[in-house]
Amino acid sequence: MAGDSVSRRQMLAMLGGIAPLLLTGAAEASPINTSETMYTLPPDIKFVPQADAPPKSIESAYLYSNPVKEGIYYTLIRWYPGYMSAPHSYASDRLCVVLSGTWWINSGEDFDPAHTVPVPAGTFVRRIARTWHYDGVRRGEPEPVVIAICGIGPVDIRLAETDKPLVRAV
């Protein structure tokens, strides 16, 4: 029994000695170096309307670079209910993640919103280079969709029907 008692005392002493080390480590943590780790909080992300589109149809927030510039870009797109893109393609792949809402997508040159497929928040979508596709949010949906898109610029967008606008009311 005496051996058990000593063992417990030794264990308590060791644990007691570790606690100040743990507390000291936490107190000495340095603040984040924003030149090494950059971040933008949600309230600071600014969406701007697309210039050639109807009001409250599509907005963009450029998080890293810009799709018209050379190199990698990362942007957020917000589609409002009742609007979709016309069938179009890009010269390079685009990698997309649905962040909120439901994104309605389809592929092909023929614009047919009734045959779009719903993809909910959390879904990954890869738009293959030089393939026709269209997307947006069907009329009657309760909220806009926000999509994160990563790609290589400059974006070279091509419309299947050059005589019609890129953004369409549906």
Q: In this predicted model, what pLDDT tens digit does every residue of 10-58 receive, in sequence order?
A: 555 555 555 555 555 555 788 999 999 999 999 999 999 999 999 999 9
Lowest mean pLDDT among 21-25, 71-75, 134-138: 21-25
For the chain, give the mean pLDDT.
90
Distance (Å, whole) CA 77 – CA 57: 11
Mean pLDDT computed over 86-96: 98
Q: pLDDT value at position 87?
A: 99
What does pTM read for this prediction?
0.81
Bridge partner residues of 152 (DSSP): 72
Closest CA to 115 of 87, 143, 144: 87
What's the average model confidence in pLDDT over 61-72?
96
Is the model's pLDDT at 152 over the cut of 90?
A: yes
